[in-house]
Structure 1
Amino acid sequence: MTIRLPAADGTLRTYEPRTAPLSLVPGTPFGSRTVFSAAHVVADPFADVSPDAPAAIDWDATLAFRRHLWSHGLGVAEAMDTAQRGMGLDWAGAAELIRRGAAEARAVGGRIACGVGTDQLAGGTLARIRAAYEEQLAVVEEAGAQAVLMASRALAATAQGPEDYLEVYGHLLRQAAEPVVLHWLGPMFDPALEGYWGSSDLDAATGTFLEVIAAHPDKVDGVKISLLDARREVELRRRLPRGVRCYTGDDFHYPELIAGDEQGFSHALLGIFDPLGPLAAGAVRLLDAGDVQGFRALLDPTVELSRHLFQPPTRFYKTGVVFLAWLAGHQSHFAMVGGLQSARSLPHLARAYELADGLGLFPDPKLAEERMKTLLSLYGVDQ
């Protein structure tokens, strides 16, 4: 059987789907690396909402997907940008997601870390920004989850320089009950975060970031770096205080960063591990066994798919992630909160299907093929 897929130049090409998925089985958490998958949310397709209305979530399907990730030994990074924080999911929805996700993690013994931000604010004073962070931190801690202090659009808009970041983050770290993960999200993921840490000069910004950590190393479990710059991540990783982990958020260079070098390695907190979950878990288990070559052989071929999903404008990678979850049978529809399913073109989605199928990511390749043909038919592509 073949399928006709649209190319970027407007022509149709013939593709022959594979008939069998990659054989990957669930397993326990890993020994050599700490690995989180940032997880998407499943919209309720029957909710009568507008794009600007609060998100309507299918809680059963959303939590089932998290159980899928936990079953393979992955941790879940909850209510972060992959879950459309600031792109369809508001703070009220995120708070409910955190509570439900943390309860589900306790029930199955899964690891969970949850995003803490200021998205209940559009702007404001430093005092209001601190209070917004505190409100969200309290929700995460009360839920029994680890906190990830995410970058704040409000702080980026309000801060006058590095000293404001030092003051806000220092205040939060002093009051955090347990060590947190600090998240540096670059402007390629969110243009509103340009100049974070008080400077658009990344060397200066890195200095401020490291100053925050050095002042409170006992309150920082690790840092998540999402700058899509492998060299800079490695340099920063080597400057971290002993005991502070680097969690790569680089969806372009993750195999080499997780594998590491003679001076260390990165752990992982990645949006691409949403569609790659079972395959990524299998690769990390090879690292646990000391098989770096096998790890790279399994994970390196996935980079082309990741670079495709995260191509500019990078912030719309969530559309491809949810699309692949639908094709893989993790949800019954391709609808997203905020109507974000329309954010990528049909040729982009077709290429995502082809790359994912080539990797064997679909548990039921026939189902994925049928769903891809259904989407194509809606666009007028006859088979």
Structure 2
Amino acid sequence: MIKTPAQGILPYQQITKLITAGAVSAAVPIEDRQIQPASFDLRLGKKAYRLISSFLPELSPISSRLDVMDFYQSDLVMYEVDLSRGAILEKGHVYLVPLLESLALPRNIRARANPKSTTGRLDVFTRIVTDLNAGFDEIRSGYSGPLFLEIVPRSFAIKVKTGQSLNQIRFVRGQAGSTDATVQALHRQEPLLYHNQPQRKPLSAKELRTDRGLFLRIDLRGEDRHGATVIGYRAKKNSHVIDLSKIGYYAAQDFWEPLYRHRQDSLLLEPEEFYILASKERISVPPDYAAEMVAYEAACGELRTHYAGFFDPGFGYGLDGEIAGTQVVLEVRPHDVPFLIHDGQTFFKVMYDRMIDVPQRLYGVGLGSSYQRQGLTLSKHFKV
């Protein structure tokens, strides 16, 4: 009998047990589609509150700030929006949505939230808020109570509806993180990074860079599309509403400006513009590990390199188990000053976390995963 680690990320089968035990419950039945190999999709509730500003409920329960008889007397809420039949959330506005799910976590289980990949690629800024908490997205061990999602559409107005999922959470017992030595050993056993071009060979041990995480670089050479080399996309400032229920529906050119390769393999990022770019390496996540993108501070200006960041076990694996790796798509927004980047520049890093057990389901295998074989890819709402 193979012993499983006592600490780590809970896999699909243990998330299912949490639901059965009532640690995760919902106002309407939980759907099987919500349970991913190492994460759980959260669903929007029936209403949204348009807020004056973001806030943290460190001193009082969130409901006490929302349950007011007259919103004109509230220091936080402007008005209420009904999501049951779908509603438009305007860009640049702050909304708070009570989620359908609530938690009653065991004392040894905590959780961490992240936007789903599609959410990040639409430049929708989201984060989980819980009662009496001084931070976002981190849910303390033993937490019992409701979940709320703060939503700020940045580039596009979006139409959302009750039951849709914009965020996901992972459940963690103990310490799940891996040391750089562990990551290096993993790469020797089964490569974690591959060159994207031309033959997708694994990176050598000398090429692998670690420092409290695995570093990856930016690709500004791109790929040829209809005689032109596209290296990324920039969101247009004025466009129509994106209905999140419409898949493969919108023409990309109505919302995005393609960016083409520069002769110096560089790109000037403008402040507060939103870009979709891709990694130079292809990444794979072994079945007994999960991974997460984390912020990389270059100490030369503030540059947000991603909104979404979970990689489930099996990410970068083929249908037959072959490993080729998958490019990482980056959601990039520079702040304050223009920022010049070059092809091959270190741009972000990935942390590998140990699973408590291998999930009964792996990413991409029979799950209809949208981005398993992605290159430079917009969200699934746009026509291919």
TM-score calculated relative to the size of structure 2? 0.25
Going by fraction, where is strand more abundant, 1 or 2? 2
Higher helix share: 1
What TM-score results when the alignment is normalised by the length of structure 1? 0.25
